[in-house]
Each structure stands twice: as C-alpha cells, then as structure tokens.
Chain A
Amino acid sequence: DTGVSQNPRHKITKRGQNVTFRCDPISEHNRLYWYRQTLGQGPEFLTYFQNEAQLEKSRLLSDRFSAERPKGSFSTLEIQRTEQGDSAMYLCASSLDGAHGTRGYGYTFGSGTRLTVV
C-alpha cells in the first residue's frame, strides 16, 4: 500500500490551455474525492465517486471541469480553457468506508497537484 498518488506534482500552464491531473487511490478504496485548495484557505469539495459512478458534484465544478474514474480505479480531473482563477492545489482523497470507516481513519489524501495558470 503506497498511499494515494497524484501526478503531476506541479503544473504551469498558459491561460486557455487544457490540463489533466491523475489520482491513483489506495487500491481497495471504493470512494474517491477531489478537493481544491487556494492559498490561505481550507480545501473545498469538488466531486465524489463511488467506484466508477460520479455521485456528487459541487457548484464549484464549472462546465470547464470534468472528472472521470473509469473502472473504479484511478481518476482524472480535466480543466478546459484554464483561467488564472483556476490556480490552486488540487487534492485527491480515497476512502474505504467514508467518514465512519472502521478500517483505517476515513480518508487518505494525496500530496496534491499544484496548478499555476499564467
């Protein structure tokens, strides 16, 4: 078990370009979450998958954002036509049983992908 892996760690892109991030959760975890953290703020929920089904999306997730989790394994988060306001740390978390998991402590976070839009 190597934890939750996110790639790339850093991404610098020009405004208007598309970017894609990848998250590899802990293998047996069925729940996967994406959060966005801007400077000086706490992480904010973006979207949630249970296995391959995307079950909840935040209103923060505009039409330019899309997330997938094919086959219930890794997940990708794509941002189209990036804007400077998209600059943030994008965090992925996985979980087996959610908040009240009896095996482990709920959620395991990755180290995040820091996006800078110039």
Chain B
Amino acid sequence: AQKVTQAQTEISVVEKEDVTLDCVYETRDTTYYLFWYKQPPSGELVFLIRRNSFDEQNEISGRYSWNFQKSTSSFNFTITASQVVDSAVYFCALSEATGAQKLVFGQGTRLTINP
C-alpha cells in the first residue's frame, strides 16, 4: 500500500528565514508521481509541483525548491526567504501511475511565518 509521512505537524519561523518541509513516501510501484499542494485557510488545495519517479532532478521555482531522492524515498520542499503569505498547510501526496491514479496525502505540515 502507498503511504506518505510528513513528520512535522507544525513549523513556525520568522519572516525571511529559510524553511524545509519533509516528506517521506512508501510505494511498491516503480512508476509513480509525487505532488506538493498548499492549502490556505479558504480550504482549496493549490497545486505547487508534480514529479514523476523517473525524474530526480531538483527543481527551483522562485523562492520554492524541491529535492527528490529515490534512494531515501523523500521529496522535501524548501521555501527560501519565507514570507507571511507562505503561511498555510502544505501537503505532500503520492499517486499511482495507472488505474484510478488517486492521490494519497500525508498528514500535512502547518507552516506559520511570523512577521
């Protein structure tokens, strides 16, 4: 069965600090997809990134970066120079590549950026 673990329940940092959100996953599939979503107080899940299991290149998008390591089954998310607007709950998710391709989510990490 697939499983995603986000060990950090809550993180609180001061604005402009860098912060890393950890994500560890379990799957027996050789082909799969990993996602990060942001959930602001409004409740809607906002897509941040998708990665397939064959692409281990790290990705940077502005202040956001992602480190995918198959050897440790991790897909960590770093926010550089955090801002108050980054405050939200962040979810890591795993999807099978065939069939329903449903998402399996981690428990989420509540990130609070203090001014």
Contacts and interface: CB of A to CB of B under 8 A. Distances in A.
Nearest to B9: A40
Interface stretch (A12-20, A22-30, A65-73, A97-105): A97-105
A48 B106 contact: no
B107 interface: yes
B106 A42 contact: yes
A112 B43 contact: yes
Interface in B79-115: 91, 93, 95-97, 99-108
B61 interface: no
Contact of A100 (B4, B47, B97, B104): B97
A96 to B, nearest CB: 12
Contact of A89 (B43, B50, B91): B43
Given A99-B96, A99-B97, A45 B47 contact: no
Nearest to A106: B50
Contacts of A56: 99-100, 102
9 contacts: A40-B108, A41-B107, A41-B108, A42-B4, A42-B106, A99-B97, A106-B33, A106-B47, A106-B95
Interface of A: 31, 33, 35, 40-45, 48, 55-56, 89, 91, 93, 95, 98-100, 105-112, 114
